[in-house]
Amino acid sequence: MDPDEFRDFGKAAVDYIADYFKNIRKLPVLSSVEPGYLSASLPELPPKTGEKWRKVFTDVDNMIIPGLTHWHSPHFHAYFPTANSYPGIVGELVLSGLGCLSKDWESNPACVELEVRVMDWLCKMLGLPECFLNESEGPGGGVIQNAASESTLVGLLCGRQRSVKTMLAKNPHLTAEEIRGKLVAYTSKESNSSVEKASLLASVPMRLLPTDNQCRLRGSTLREAVEKDKADGLIPCCVVASLGTTGTCSIDELEELGIVCKENDIWLHVDAAYAGAALVCPEYRHLMKGVEYTDSFNFNPHKWFLTNSDCSAMWFRNTKDAEEAFKVKSTIQEEPQYEYEIEHWQIPNCRRFRALKLWFVMRIYGVQGIQKHIRHQVGLAKYFEKLVRNDERYEVLISCLGVVCFRLKGEDQLTQKLLDRIAERKKLFIMPYYIQSKLVIRFVICSRLTEREDIDYAWNEIISLTPVTRKQLSNAPIQTVRRTLSLKNAGSIVNKGIVTDINDKIKVELFI
Amino acid sequence: MDPDEFRDFGKAAVDYIADYFKNIRKLPVLSSVEPGYLSASLPELPPKTGEKWRKVFTDVDNMIIPGLTHWHSPHFHAYFPTANSYPGIVGELVLSGLGCLSKDWESNPACVELEVRVMDWLCKMLGLPECFLNESEGPGGGVIQNAASESTLVGLLCGRQRSVKTMLAKNPHLTAEEIRGKLVAYTSKESNSSVEKASLLASVPMRLLPTDNQCRLRGSTLREAVEKDKADGLIPCCVVASLGTTGTCSIDELEELGIVCKENDIWLHVDAAYAGAALVCPEYRHLMKGVEYTDSFNFNPHKWFLTNSDCSAMWFRNTKDAEEAFKVKSTIQEEPQYEYEIEHWQIPNCRRFRALKLWFVMRIYGVQGIQKHIRHQVGLAKYFEKLVRNDERYEVLISCLGVVCFRLKGEDQLTQKLLDRIAERKKLFIMPYYIQSKLVIRFVICSRLTEREDIDYAWNEIISLTPVTRKQLSNAPIQTVRRTLSLKNAGSIVNKGIVTDINDKIKVELFI
């Protein structure tokens, strides 16, 4: 392909993407293909000679688009948002075009220095502790990782290494292997599955602790577990706390956990993969109360911060801990040219120039532009929540930021029936979840393109498929009241419910 | 940013990249900035309000380009190639624009199915064992990882898990912790530093074994180490072999190593990060003799296979081993919809749609296009090698594929002086290396844009800075002969050298 063809191909791709977003509401969010659909249409061998790019592009339309789940459809309300923005896309294009990687500073000064600076910008934008800043006098600093799962693993490995080092100093008769065999880590049952995976990888058993009725891990629970393990001769080394659990976006009680960690010399890693982006708005910073206790903190700009994947931000209170854990002897420079050796704060050898796209996003949106995005999306969630609460057949169990967990009152089977119908029609993509053994629908504002009309669309789809009518409800007032009462008693979740009318129209206000 | 602005911005970026490559020879491959240069020009805080994209683009020119090491400059001969091609760039743009990730099949059928198919295409293109194919009847399969370092870690963790499982079955009185405390792994001193890092992460000690005079790990060396460790009560679990070491592109003796691994039930992981791409040409497949013994095999299409970073291909003989090591209970589906659960063959939760760019590259180049690229680059290396060999002041110690390791005859200080001069002028980027304690210059064909004229440019730069003239050499024939003889005796490296003239012009032919 010659440069002129590249110009044509690249510009056609830009138009293709713009058109894709323009028409995205016309595409079904979920595909209807059967497993194995692609092997039927794609040859078993690659072409011997090169093909024209226009033909490949046609095949994207014919073979790929029909099999895609459109993660940026305004009707995609599953998982969490995956960032996508125009500045982010062009940022990715430019960094990919320049194709410059970096290792140490000498290998690419601009890549390393821009990353150091934008991580400081980000730290300040979120109001994180100053000790995390690269430019701070202390040993703290921030770096871009691939993913939250990798950051969790990095945090756990740092905690493991710190404990081994401390215990070796205190118990010179023990070997590192003996100490590693006694290590144990903690997280809540509600944390992301990647935390458990990190524990498999690091060979550190992970206790999945129970949460309170808001799905939050509490200090007392942690303290009890730590004390029991210590009594059994084990060595607690790391806690992975969630600032926004995957299921319900619940916020672990950082301050309570932090105190226990501090008392027991345990590494505290905070996984704020999704919710961390909200800290750009001062009104949400109360969510991170206790953050001053954390040893490492991670959030993904590639989730809710408009920066295309991959881009996962991680800060350390003391980057020397990371260097202790990851620095391979053969790569140590006696006199590094640059004061930040960020290449030793990560697992891979090389880094893509991801700082460039983050820089594009921060500059072209500005702080206010990103705040506006977060507030708009939270507003959409609140609007959806209001629609749900205004329908007496439904109850909202937990709602935080862009995540609303709701269900049909009564037995799970009603909600299950609704979920089945929604899945069958493929007009919305939403996921089920369980809160304290109750089936809920997890509705998340994901796409940057989602607007109020899309929320109305979603709600209309939901109520049109709701397997119980308002009339059925009003014909069975006693049953309904019973349900409401049992809800109040499930109180673990719902603390207070006011039934204002049990006859024609039942209005239930729940305060959670 | 509205869609029309995106079209303008995106197309301007496409032109920017095309122009960048057009003018890349005019840019110094290495920058002249001082550490900390960027913090002086970039504000300490991000902008409050959004800025215009044209302004950001201007700053790329003003702030970023001057601080870059241009990894795609035809004068970049350091490290290894980093892939960059027009189809790869547009592939990255399109996948970034669609912004679709995947987890399991349901989360995105097209993403998962295309990856399964292109990994099979790739397996066939390289002539790898059929048992690695996803479509094979057995449990083998392939998946795209982030990086070779990650693949090495994955291989090591699989080996660790398999040994723990086997030993637990044989020794029910032992615990998994006790077994893990006895595990040990092996690689050569010449392998990439990421292998040592993987050992730190996995808490499995890694023996860095000596190599033969061609920098290859041999079976006899491995066997001796394994037997010693077993005699000491340790459990050998994994060997990481290099198909192309980082320093000299040496090829470990896979067949010899494989036999030892098979006899001792040791996981054999092959790191072919760079050299694996050459297997697309049948004439290089002899390099992987013994590959049938490997349990996992990795090469990076993002190195020498024209696919922009990141894209690291990894195959397993038995994907169930990976699932044993990585599958977190909470993510297990009782009845998965699709037969390939590739999400359990990797560390992260989510995967970008990297298969798309690999597909673009394979289709637009075709098999022959990629073969042509490899052969062209090997041809350039051979051309460079000939230039070096034709100058009696120089000797080539090892040359394989696109890597040529050469030095000035005599003491290291001559070569060091040359390296210092080259570094000072910044016209070329090359790296030093040590072969059996001898300083060499490692010259690698990296950029896709490199042509014969660039090799001449490099060689002219080198000879213009060479700190010894031919005349000096001819005035000191005895010394020269002595050098040549000692070289023959260093024979570890050079097996044969013929001195045809020791007076006016010395011609030395070395066969290695």
Per-residue model confidence (pLDDT) at position B474: 57
**A161 and A300 both lie in a single domain:** yes
Q: B219-231 and B254-264 are packed helices; what angle lies between their axes, rounded to 10 degrees?
A: 20
Decide if A100 is inside a domain.
Answer: no
Contact B330, B86 (CB under 8 A): no
Decide if A356 is inside a domain.
Answer: no
Contact at CB, B11 and A14, closer than 8 angstroms? yes
Which of A72, A201, A339 is the best substitution to test chain B (most B C-beta atoms within 10 A)? Answer: A201
Contact at CB, A93 and B149, closer than 8 angstroms? no
pLDDT tens for each residue of B262-301: 999 999 999 999 999 999 999 999 999 999 999 999 999 9
Which of B2, B114, B201, B346 is the best substitution to test chain A (most A C-beta atoms within 10 A)? Answer: B201
As a whole number of angstroms, the distance between CA A13 and CA A93 comes to 11
Query: Residue A487 above 80 pLDDT?
Result: no
Contact at CB, A68 and B111, closer than 8 angstroms? yes
Which B residues 310-329 touch A at CB under 8 Å? 310, 325-326, 328-329
* Confidence at B488, pLDDT banded by 50, 70, 90: very low
**B165 and B312 both lie in a single domain:** yes
pLDDT tens for each residue of A381-428: 999 999 999 999 999 999 999 999 999 999 999 999 999 999 999 999
Name the residue facing A6 among B1, B5, B86 (closest C-beta).
Answer: B86
Contact B116, B437 (CB under 8 A): no
Which of A364, A434, A446, A449 is the best substitution to test chain B (most B C-beta atoms within 10 A)? Answer: A364
Per-residue model confidence (pLDDT) at position A354: 97
pLDDT tens for each residue of A325-365: 887 776 666 788 898 999 999 988 899 999 999 999 999 99
Contact at CB, A349 and B110, closer than 8 angstroms? no
Contact at CB, B50 and A363, closer than 8 angstroms? yes
**A373 and A316 both lie in a single domain:** no
Decide if B468 is inside a domain.
Answer: yes
Report residue B71 as tokens: 């990894």
B-chain CB neighbours of A309 within 8 Å are: 96, 99, 101, 350, 352
**A286 and A378 both lie in a single domain:** no
Report residue A84 as tokens: 């996508």
Contact at CB, A121 and B45, closer than 8 angstroms? yes
* Confidence at B361, pLDDT banded by 50, 70, 90: very high
Decide if B60 is inside a domain.
Answer: no
Per-residue model confidence (pLDDT) at position A226: 98
Task: Please check whether residue A271 touches B, CB under 8 A.
Answer: no
pLDDT tens for each residue of A189-247: 999 999 999 998 899 999 999 999 999 999 999 999 999 999 999 999 999 999 999 99
Decide if B218 is inside a domain.
Answer: yes
Where is the domain boundary, B352, B384, B413? B352
Task: Please check whether residue A490 touches B, CB under 8 A.
Answer: no
**B113 and B247 both lie in a single domain:** yes
List the CATH number of the domain containing B387: 3.90.1150.10
Contact at CB, B97 and A13, closer than 8 angstroms? yes
Contact at CB, A328 and B105, closer than 8 angstroms? no
A-chain CB neighbours of B359 within 8 Å are: 56
pLDDT tens for each residue of A22-67: 999 999 999 999 999 999 899 999 999 999 999 999 999 999 999 9
**A157 and A89 both lie in a single domain:** no
List the CATH number of the domain containing A28: 1.20.1340.10
As a whole number of angstroms, the distance between CA B18 and CA B21 comes to 5
Task: Please check whether residue B332 touches A, CB under 8 A.
Answer: no
Task: Please check whether residue A105 touches B, CB under 8 A.
Answer: yes
As a whole number of angstroms, the distance between CA B230 and CA B234 comes to 5
pLDDT tens for each residue of A113-136: 999 999 999 999 999 999 999 999
* Confidence at A469, pLDDT banded by 50, 70, 90: confident
* Confidence at B159, pLDDT banded by 50, 70, 90: very high
Q: What is the DSSP letter of B61?
A: I
Which of B16, B22, B64, B345 is the best substitution to test chain A (most A C-beta atoms within 10 A)? Answer: B64
Which A residues 412-471 touch B at CB under 8 Å? none
**B417 and B335 both lie in a single domain:** no
Question: Three-state DSSP class for A297?
Answer: strand
**CA-based nearest distance B280→chain A, Å:** 12
As a whole number of angstroms, the distance between CA A84 and CA A89 comes to 7
How many beta-carbon contacts under 8 Å exist across A and B?
421
Residue closest to A103 by CA, chosen among A112, A92, A114: A112
**A85 and A162 both lie in a single domain:** no
pLDDT tens for each residue of B5-60: 999 999 999 999 999 999 999 999 999 999 999 998 999 999 999 999 999 999 99
Range of the domain at A177: 144-329
List the CATH number of the domain containing A250: 3.40.640.10
Decide if B79 is inside a domain.
Answer: no
- For B294-354, list the strands marked E by DSSP: 296-299, 312-316
**CA-based nearest distance B382→chain A, Å:** 25
Residue closest to A429 by CA, chosen among A26, A77, A68, A83: A77
B-chain CB neighbours of A84 within 8 Å are: 96-97, 99
Per-residue model confidence (pLDDT) at position B352: 96
Where is the domain boundary, B304, B325, B352? B352
**A255 and A195 both lie in a single domain:** yes
Per-chain mean pLDDT for chain B: 91
The total number of structural domains that make up chain A? 3
* Residue position matching structure tokens 């989730």: A303
Query: How many residues in total does chain B contain?
Result: 512
Contact at CB, B329 and A196, closer than 8 angstroms? yes
pLDDT tens for each residue of B86-133: 999 999 999 999 999 999 999 999 999 999 999 999 999 999 999 999
Percent of chain A having pLDDT more than 90?
Answer: 86
Task: Please check whether residue B178 touches A, CB under 8 A.
Answer: yes
pLDDT tens for each residue of A150-179: 999 999 999 999 999 999 999 999 999 899
- For A103-205, list the strands marked E by DSSP: 141-145, 183-188
**B188 and B281 both lie in a single domain:** yes
Residue closest to B59 by CA, chosen among A12, A123, A118: A118
**CA-based nearest distance B35→chain A, Å:** 6
**A154 and A241 both lie in a single domain:** yes
A-chain CB neighbours of B150 within 8 Å are: 347-348
Report residue A209 as tokens: 């602790």
Which is more confident, A508 or A470? A470
A-chain CB neighbours of B11 within 8 Å are: 10-11, 14
B-chain CB neighbours of A135 within 8 Å are: 39, 44
Residue A319 phi/psi, 5-degree rounding, is -70, -15
What is the average per-residue pLDDT within B211-229?
97
Residue closest to A432 by CA, chosen among B468, B123, B106, B285: B106
Where is the domain boundary, A94, A113, A132? A94
Contact at CB, A194 and B93, closer than 8 angstroms? no
Per-residue model confidence (pLDDT) at position A472: 72
Task: Please check whether residue B193 touches A, CB under 8 A.
Answer: yes
Per-residue model confidence (pLDDT) at position A471: 72
As a whole number of angstroms, the distance between CA A17 and CA A89 comes to 10
Which of B4, B5, B8, B9 is the best substitution to test chain A (most A C-beta atoms within 10 A)? Answer: B9
A-chain CB neighbours of B48 within 8 Å are: 366-368
Contact at CB, A50 and B135, closer than 8 angstroms? no
Query: In whole angstroms, how far apart are CA B497 and each of B485, B494, B500, B506?
Result: 8, 7, 10, 12
Residue A54 phi/psi, 5-degree rounding, is -65, -35
B-chain CB neighbours of A127 within 8 Å are: none
Decide if B23 is inside a domain.
Answer: no
B-chain CB neighbours of A203 within 8 Å are: 160, 180, 202-203
Decide if A116 is inside a domain.
Answer: no
**B341 and B395 both lie in a single domain:** no
**B300-322 burial by CB neighbour count: b if 16+ within 10 A, else e?**
bbbbbbbbbbbbbbbbbbbbbbb
